[in-house]
Amino acid sequence: MTTGIVHIGVGGFHRAHQAMYVDRLMNAGLALDWGICGVGVLPADVTMRDALSAQDGLYTLAVRHPDGSVDARVIGSIVEYLFAPDDPEAVVEKMAAASTRIVSLTITEGSYNIDPVSRRFDPSAPSIQADLSAGATPSTAFGLVTEALARRRQRGVAPFTVLSCDNLQGNGRLACQAFTAFAELRDPELASWIHREVSFPDGMVDRITPATKPQDVTMIEERFGIADAWPVVCEPFAQWVVEDDFPAGRPPLEAVGAQFVPDVEPYESMKLRLLNGSHQALAYFAALAGHRFVHEACQDPIWARFLRDYMDREVTPTLDPVPGVDLDAYKATLIGRFSNAAVADTAARLCAQTSALIPKFVLPVVRDQLARGGEVHRAAAVVASWARFAEGLDEQGRPVPIVDRRADLLQINARRQREDPLAFLAERSIFGDLVDDERFAAPFLQALDSLHRHGARGTLQRLTEGAGLAS
């Protein structure tokens, strides 16, 4: 096998998704020149470097089915791993090599450095500024990729395709915006070349992949006899829909279940608003009520009914037709996936980094519904559940961790809302002008008051039974 893909940000999701699809091809004797070189750029990635290096890039992918059965396979598509802090030059040269035809990314939503309100690239991070300084050794994904593209341009080598596999609407367009904005600050001529010559296809990715737990490692060894330092556990469902725009070539992933389409937007809107938005609709109510796992809440008829009402009454009206997809069946499948106890997905995972998630998954639904005069009171309750969660205590008075890059600001605002109920919603850097729209602010206030007085379960019961939250 040889390398054709360099992937930045090797985590659980990449290993359960993109690497799994490529492995399927390779097991069919196809695409042996499309092996993956994983790249870590963050200090924390040293753990992945050590785990994969010790196992020759191999790891176990365990698929947990609702009936408790587990299918496991060893994935071999990651043929090498480079840790950029060890040798950034090696990473740049790997991407600059003509054999590399795709550079893919799972660097998380916040790492594209796009301001949530202005929607412009924000270069103020110290690491970005360091990469932009004259003669700098690149350390960020932006610096490494841009330097590799600059070398290919200088050498007359056609550029690779940049493929975002992050869970973002318009992820290709967003990646194009971020990388060209960075290049513009470094070299305007290079930026023009990137904008003109480099392809950034959009893609929709989907597979629930909880963080690996110690008991997963034990289960793999006891059940399958494999000692694996870092296996991956996931649900059975997987979906990958990609815009077919790969001038440098691509592996034939359609042979193993991926879809290549001319326009990804209907699929990604469906997934981000229905699946990811519903995760947000579920998570904070669940955490406040003391549910540790997603399935515990979703198996409760009140939570399941609220989610389905939210999907049907507020999200679905904002979606365009999705070719080949039965939306009612898709929504029913989501409830089933969320209810899969075998996956053991945690509410805490869904509650992390919310300041980057609610604006992408829930607020676009709100704004579309307001524009069409539709219902928004369930989405308002979702935002209120986040506001209540950000106070830092659940309904039993136990601390809940606020894992968010803006945690300090969120908690300050949330802890003021007992005296100033709009303090949380008034944060314009997150919510824009929604605080000024009575159609949203009023149901938000009602839901927040209900959460304080009746708790999460009581609030959801009132929402699903049609009782007024102000009562």
pLDDT of residue 46: 96
Distance CA 55, CA 156 (A): 37
Residue 471, in any domain of the structure: no
Which residue matches tokens 């679905």?
316
Q: Which of 29, 74, 33, 31 is nearest to 56 (CA)?
A: 74
Q: Which residues pair with 399 in a beta bridge?
A: 393
CATH code at 45?
3.40.50.720
Residue 268 three-state SS: helix
DSSP for 41-76, written as a single string: -SGGGHHHHHHHHHTTT-EEEEEEPTTS-EEEEEE-
DSSP per-residue string spanning 322-340? -TT--HHHHHHHHHHHHT-
Task: Look at residue 234 and give its three-state secondary structure.
Answer: strand
| pLDDT for residue 471 is more than 60 | no
Q: How many CA atoms lie within 13 A of 100 on its CB side?
A: 25
Taking only Cα atoms into account, the Rg of the chain, rounded to an integer number of angstroms, comes to 23
Q: Would you say 299 and 343 are in contact if contact means Cβ atoms under 8 Å apart?
A: no
Q: What is the pLDDT of residues 51-78, one digit of tens each?
A: 999 999 999 999 999 999 999 999 999 9
Contact 204, 241 (CB under 8 A): yes
Do 279 and 252 fall into the same domain?
no
Condensed to tens digits (0 to 9), the pLDDT of residues 173-199 reads: 999 999 999 999 999 999 999 999 999
Same domain (yes/no): 278, 198: no
Instruction: Based on the fold, state whether residues 255 and 303 are members of the same structural domain.
Output: no
Residue 467: is its pLDDT beyond 90? no
Please state the domain count of the chain: 2
- What is the per-residue pLDDT for 470? 62
Reported as a single tens digit per residue, the pLDDT across 274-304 is 999 999 999 999 999 999 999 999 999 999 9
Q: How far apart are CA 28 and CA 30, in angstroms?
A: 6
Given a cut of 90, is residue 115 above it in pLDDT? no
Whether residue 323 has pLDDT greater than 80 = yes
Tokens linked to 182:
């960075």
Q: Are 281 and 335 within 8 A, CB to CB? A: no
Both 108 and 227 in a single domain? yes
Question: Is a pLDDT exceeding 60 seen at residue 239?
Answer: yes
Helix (H) or strand (E) holding 8: strand 3-8
What one-character DSSP code corresponds to residue 109?
G
Answer whether 33's CB lies under 8 Å from 248's CB: no
Which candidate, 350, 208, 330, places its Cα nearest to that of 280? 350
Question: In the 8-state DSSP scheme, what is residue 133?
Answer: S
Instruction: Please give the share of the chain, as a percent, with pLDDT higher than 70.
Output: 99
Q: Which residue is listed with tokens 């191999």?
A: 58
Band (pLDDT 50/70/90 cuts) for residue 118 is confident
Mean pLDDT within 91-96: 98
Among candidate residues 239, 261, 283, the one where a domain is terminated: 261
Domain range for 61 is 3-261
pTM of the model: 0.86
Task: Over range 386-415, report the average pLDDT.
Answer: 96
Contacts of 433-438 spanning 24+ positions with Cβ under 8 A: 434/363, 434/366, 437/370
| Same-domain check for residues 353 and 384 | yes
Same domain, residue pair 168 and 90: yes
CA distances (Å), 9 to each of 106, 161, 310, in order?
Answer: 5, 16, 33
Q: Are residues 237 and 289 in the same domain?
A: no
- Residue 262 in this model has a pLDDT that exceeds 70: yes
Based on the fold, state whether residues 289 and 238 are members of the same structural domain. Answer: no
Give the end of a domain, one of 236, 261, 286.
Answer: 261
Residue 470 lies in a domain: no
- Note whether residue 360 is domain-resident: yes
CATH number of the domain residue 303 falls in: 1.10.1040.10
CB 413 within 8 A of CB 384: no
Q: What's the pLDDT at 109?
A: 76
Task: For residues 410 and 400, give the distance between their C-alpha atoms in angstroms, rounded to a whole number.
Answer: 13
The C-alpha atoms of residue 39 and residue 105 are separated, in whole angstroms, by 10
Say which amino acid occupies 217.
Answer: V
